[in-house]
Amino acid sequence: MGKFEHPNIVKILGICVDNDPVFIIMELMPAGDLLKFLREARPESGPALLTREEHLYIIKDIAQGCRYLEQQHFIHRDLAARNCLVSSKGADRIVKIGDFGLARDLYSSDYYRVEGERKLPVRWMAPEALLQGKFTIESDVWAYGILLYEVMSFGNQPYPGQSNQDVLQYVTAGGRLPKPDKCPQRIYRLMMKCWRKYASERPRFEEICQYLDNIIEDMKRDSYCESDSDDGETLSREGSKRVPTRSPSFKSGFQNLVRSGSKKLRNSLRRHSIHRKEEQTTHTSVSSCDNLIPTENGDSFRESGLI
């Protein structure tokens, strides 16, 4: 970790091991963690303190840091807004990835398997991490998608109002988070690609960085702004046709999905495999509560091509 050299990775300056506890000396990031920064910028009663352009540069900074970690064969395992730090509150801010307490070096291994019981960030974890304890670059990509949700929602907690057990069952049953209010559709499509069920189908961080570069270039050409009138729609499997995702009853739909997920979860835990025969789940969504949007087998957002 001390050898990491990248503008979007918090620099470790030194470690003191003479006494317990161990002290780690890191570069100063005066604006604190990203989660607090986002919540302080919320548009409570007036215009937001962060523009769309600033949102884009925040998520690009983090993607660039993640790309560097991927190049170093390193996984973070706890990528979230709370574990990113902000250099300043001005427009010239830089966001950097920090908190490597759960990170693992993957130079000689494809993934890290959890042994024993420990506290894990369930709301940021991919299905294979939840079911099998597998942590890979692809599970970091999933967590990056959740981080995108945090940034675009000004620090909302993922799956608000639900217990960790409900979230586990919901995600493994194919449920996904909805598009945050005023989030551009292109950014939400990126989230959904990060949340593809099968790890091999998720984009790499190099591709994510290129995708964000393209959006920023479009923004500079004044073609970035999109209609946000499609809050009740998502991309179909073909990526062009749109299908509605709103229905009258959230409560019953969520309960049905969780029941379906519980059965699948038990089967998966027995076999320690997520590559199981899929059960058809009801395509449900939210009217009275905008917290969660179930999808059909987790695949109804998959498009041909990568991004």
For the four alpha carbons of 269, 275, 279 and 283, in that order, the dihedral sign comes to positive
Angle 117-121-127 from CA coordinates, rounded to 5° = 90
**Cα 289 to Cα 250: distance, rounded to the nearest angstrom:** 6
User: Cβ–Cβ contacts within 10 Å for residue 74, how many?
Assistant: 21
Residues tagged active-site: 78
For 71, 84, 136, 220, the CA distances from 209, given in Å and listed in that order, are 13, 17, 19, 17
User: Is position 82 annotated in a ligand binding site?
Assistant: yes
Q: Tokens in use for 64?
A: 């660039």
99 in a known ligand binding site: yes
Query: The tokens 């799956």 sit on which residue?
Result: 159
Q: Specify the residue for token string 């600033």.
A: 54
176, 159 contact by CB (below 8 A): no
What sign does the dihedral 16-17-18-20 (CA atoms) show? positive
Cα dihedral 280→294→285→52 (10° resolution): -150
Q: Rounded to whole angstroms, how far apart are CA atoms 275 and 259?
A: 19
Q: Which residues are annotated as a binding site for Mg(2+)?
A: 83, 99
Q: Which residues are annotated as a binding site for ATP?
A: 82
Q: Which residues are annotated as a binding site?
A: 82-83, 99
